[in-house]
Amino acid sequence: MPLRARHAAVALALALGLAVSAKAAEPDRTILPVSPPDFAGKIGETYKDSTPDWNRRCRSRPRPARPTS
């Protein structure tokens, strides 16, 4: 297989793989409101026994910068 054809085949396979994985990650939007994902951390008796869920998305937005005078 020529090098150019091999590069095209790899690029096509990569594009298809990314498209499939992106489609699988989308939540079902036919039922609204979309429920938040389950908490993946662990809640213990103290903070030392607990583990955070770092994959949760923050919905708040940063405040706009104030003009300096």
pLDDT of residue 48: 93
- C-beta separation of 40 from 53 below 8 A: yes
pLDDT, tens digit, 9 for 90 and up, residues 11-68:
777 777 766 555 556 777 788 887 777 888 899 999 999 998 876 566 667 778 887 7
* Two tokens, residue 32: 């609204």
pLDDT of residue 39: 84
Phi, then psi, of 20 in degrees rounded to 5: -70, -45
Q: What span, in angstroms and rounded, lies between the C-alpha atoms of 40 and 64?
A: 31
Q: What span, in angstroms and rounded, lies between the C-alpha atoms of 27 and 15?
A: 21
